[in-house]
Amino acid sequence: MTKELTNSQSTTPPSELELGAKARTVLQAARKIFLTHGFNGATTDMIQREAGVSKSTVYAHFANKETLFLAVIKSECEVFTASIHNITFKPGNLTENLRRLGYAYLQVALAESAMALYRVVIAEAPRFPALGHMFYNSGPLVVKGKVSKYLTDAVASNELNFETISIEEATDVFVALMRSELHLLYLTHPDRPITKDAIDRWVEITIDFLVRSYGC
């Protein structure tokens, strides 16, 4: 499995829900192996043994290790973004709305499995750009779309007013502020999980900044 993934090979893998039972078994084994050993440290032999299937079964569903890793990225991102999709804007209480959105976002961004996947993707993106593209498009970009819709609804209900910046820029500001130091701290200190108090405090600081800056 030495063939490198190029941009021309970056075909979007199917959703996990579209896979059969055997393919899901292989994918679940691959998730564990990749997140434990990284992309370079993982082998199809390790994935085969973890899944309890033959090598021919692995190849019958996934052409190579790179394709399998793309499928893991997509599957993980679908799980991470599911909670964001369930958050809807309810006009009349801007602070509480933003608080619910902030907590939902940090539950995604600071999840242990999300951090493990982030570390692997960032490490491999310079050699395999398609991995980074898949991760960004399936995860962060989807979340940004939801945040953008949320802020647009807040503007429509006259609770926020972005006169000097666009909704897209406001979305980037919200996401960057919310993730910010907590994400970097957890990335570099995996032995020191972020406390609930730290998350609570940072959510309130971010909301206060946004409301003071752009609240009506």
* Segments in the chain forming alpha helices (H): 21-41, 44-51, 55-61, 65-85, 94-109, 112-124, 129-138, 140-156, 167-188, 196-214
22 pLDDT higher than 60? yes
| pLDDT value of residue 18 | 64
Q: Give the torsion sign (CA, 146, 150, 156, 162).
A: negative
For residue 6, what pLDDT band results from cuts at 50, 70 and 90? Answer: very low
Q: pTM higher than 0.85, yes or no?
A: no
User: Does 26 have pLDDT greater than 60?
Assistant: yes
Give the per-residue pLDDT at 190. 86
Of the pLDDT bands very low, low, confident and very high (cuts 50, 70, 90), residue 4 is very low
Q: What is the pLDDT of residue 17?
A: 52
Among 8-22, 75-89, 201-215, whose mean pLDDT is lowest?
8-22
Q: What is the pLDDT of residue 9?
A: 44
pLDDT at 16: 58
Q: Assess contact for 211 and 95: CB atoms under 8 A.
A: yes
Instruction: Check residue 13 and give its pLDDT.
Output: 64
Largest separation between any pair of C-alpha atoms in the chain: 61
List pLDDT tens digits, range 37-83: 888 889 999 999 999 999 899 988 888 888 898 888 888 888 888 87
Confidence of residue 132 (pLDDT cuts 50, 70, 90): confident
CA distance 151 to 6: 36
**What mean pLDDT is predicted for residues 7-19?**
54
- Give the pLDDT of residue 3: 43
Query: What's the confidence (pLDDT) of residue 12?
Result: 59
> pLDDT tens digit string along 161-178?
998 999 999 999 999 999
Dihedral, 79, 81, 82, 84 alpha carbons, nearest 10: 150
Q: Which residue has the higher pLDDT, 89 or 159?
A: 159
Q: What is the pLDDT of residue 144?
A: 92
Residues 181-209: what's their mean pLDDT? 91
Mean pLDDT score of the chain, rounded to an integer? 86
